[in-house]
Structure 1
Amino acid sequence: MAVRKSVTKNKAVKPRASRGKVTMAELLLRSPLEIHGFKRGQKVKAKLIGLEKSQADFNIGGKTEGVIRGIYYTETRGFLKTLKKSETVELVVIDPETFDGHVLLSARHAARAQFWSRLTDLKKTGGTLTVCGISVNDRGVSVEVDSMSAFVPVSQLGKVASRDPEKLVGQTFLVKVLEVDPEKQRLVLSERAVSEASEIKRTQKAIKSVKEGDVFKGVVTTVTSFGVFVEIKVNKVPVEGLVHVSELSWAKVSDPREFLREGDTVEVQVLHVEDGKLALSMKQAQGDPWVEIEKKYKPEDRLKGKIVKVSNFGVFVELTPGIEGLIHMTKIPPGTALKKGQELNCYIEDVDSKSRKISLGLIVTSSKPIGYK
Structure 2
Amino acid sequence: MLSNKNEVVSANPNIGSTVEGTVVARERSALYIDLGVFGAGIIYGREYFEAKELIKGLNVGDKVFAKITEMENDQGYRELSLKGASKDMSWQKLRDIKEKGEIVKVKVTGVNKGGLLAVLDGISAFLPVSQLAPEHYPRVVDADKQKILRELQKFIGKTLEVKILDLLAEENKLILSEKAKAEEQTRETLKNYKKGDIISGQITGIADFGVFIKFPITAKTSEDDSEQNTDLSGEALAKEEKAGIEGLIHISELDWQLVENPAEVVKVGEIIKAQIIGITNSQVFLSLKSMKENPWEEVEKKFKKGDTLNAKVLKVSSFGAFVEVLPKIRGLCHVSEFESEEKMKEKLSVGQMYDFEVLLIDLKEHRMSLKLVK
Give the TM-score normalised by the residue count of structure 1: 0.57
Residue matched to 1:326: 333
CA distance in 2: counterparts of 1:50 and 1:339, whole angstroms: 92
Shift of 1:270: 0.6
Residue matched to 1:21: none
Q: What is the DSSP-based 3-state SS (H/G/I as helix, E as strand, rest coil) of the residue aligned with 1:278? A: strand
Residue matched to 1:15: none
1:51-130 matches, cutoff 5 A: 51=26, 56-58=31-33, 65=41, 67=43, 69=47, 73=51, 77=55, 81=58, 84=61, 87=63, 91=66, 102-105=79-82, 106-123=85-102
2:19 to 31, 41, 44: 44
Give the conservation status (yes or no) of the 8 Å contact 2:273–2:291. Answer: yes
* Inter-CA distance 188–346: structure 2 relative to 1 (3 Å threshold): same
Give the conservation status (yes or no) of the 8 Å contact 1:97–1:104. Answer: no
Give the conservation status (yes or no) of the 8 Å contact 2:19–2:65. Answer: yes
Shift of 1:217: 4.2
Give the conservation status (yes or no) of the 8 Å contact 2:26–2:60. Answer: no
Q: Deviations over 1:171-230 (max 9, x none)?
A: xx8x7655643356223358x98xxxxxx98x9887433221122344323324443222
CA distance in 2: counterparts of 1:255 and 1:53, whole angstroms: 68
Q: Which moved more, 1:283-292 or 1:59-68?
A: 59-68
CA distance in 1: counterparts of 2:332 and 2:349, whole angstroms: 14
1:241 to 238, 246, 270: 246
Q: Deviations over 1:66-91 (max 9, x none)?
A: 6494797368558x626616x5x555
* Inter-CA distance 59–323: structure 2 relative to 1 (3 Å threshold): same
CA distance in 2: counterparts of 1:58 and 1:339, whole angstroms: 89
Residue matched to 1:283: 289
CA distance in 2: counterparts of 1:293 and 1:146, whole angstroms: 63
Give the percent of matched residue pairs that are identical in Structure 1 and Structure 2: 19
- Looking at secondary structure, tell me which structure has more helix per residue: 2
Shift of 1:324: 3.4
Q: What is the DSSP-based 3-state SS (H/G/I as helix, E as strand, rest coil) of the residue aligned with 2:291? A: helix
Q: Deviations over 1:77-135 (max 9, x none)?
A: 58x626616x5x55556x67899994545132233222332354254xxxx65x46455
Give the conservation status (yes or no) of the 8 Å contact 1:305–1:317. Answer: yes
Provide structure 2 residue ranges, at least 5 long, that are not aligned to the other structure: 1-10, 138-152, 218-228, 232-236
Q: What is the DSSP-based 3-state SS (H/G/I as helix, E as strand, rest coil) of the residue aligned with 2:204? A: strand
The one-letter amino acid paired with 1:295 is K
CA distance in 1: counterparts of 2:261 and 2:19, whole angstroms: 57
CA distance in 1: counterparts of 2:72 and 2:267, whole angstroms: 66
Residue matched to 2:369: 359
CA distance in 1: counterparts of 2:270 and 2:211, whole angstroms: 11
Residue matched to 2:308: 300
Confirm or deny that 1:349 pairs with 2:320.
no
Count of equivalent residues: 300
Residue matched to 1:23: none
Q: Deviations over 1:287-333 (max 9, x none)?
A: 6555564334332122223225323xx54546464643233434469
Q: Deviations over 1:318-354 (max 9, x none)?
A: 6464643233434469845359992342413322315
CA distance in 2: counterparts of 1:316 and 1:338, whole angstroms: 15
The one-letter amino acid paired with 1:301 is L
Residue matched to 2:192: 209
* Inter-CA distance 187–245: structure 2 relative to 1 (3 Å threshold): same
Confirm or deny that 1:185 pairs with 2:177.
no
Confirm or deny that 1:221 pairs with 2:199.
no
RMSD over aligned Cα, in angstroms?
A: 5.2
* Inter-CA distance 91–205: structure 2 relative to 1 (3 Å threshold): closer
CA distance in 2: counterparts of 1:339 and 1:77, whole angstroms: 82
The one-letter amino acid paired with 1:155 is E
Give the conservation status (yes or no) of the 8 Å contact 1:348–1:358. Answer: no
Q: Which moved more, 1:219-228 or 1:230-239?
A: 230-239
Higher RCO, 1 vs 2 (CA within 8 Å, ≥6 residues apart)? 2
1:114-153 matches, cutoff 5 A: 114-123=93-102, 131=105, 133=107, 145-148=120-123
* Inter-CA distance 57–283: structure 2 relative to 1 (3 Å threshold): farther
Q: Which moved more, 1:250-259 or 1:335-344?
A: 335-344
CA distance in 1: counterparts of 2:189 and 2:360, whole angstroms: 44
Name which one, 1 or 2, has greater alpha-carbon Rg. Answer: 1
CA distance in 1: counterparts of 2:349 and 2:99, whole angstroms: 54
* Inter-CA distance 209–52: structure 2 relative to 1 (3 Å threshold): same
Residue matched to 1:22: none
* Inter-CA distance 352–76: structure 2 relative to 1 (3 Å threshold): farther
Q: What is the DSSP-based 3-state SS (H/G/I as helix, E as strand, rest coil) of the residue aligned with 2:308? A: coil
Give the TM-score normalised by the residue count of structure 2: 0.57
* Inter-CA distance 288–181: structure 2 relative to 1 (3 Å threshold): farther
CA distance in 1: counterparts of 2:98 and 2:54, whole angstroms: 17
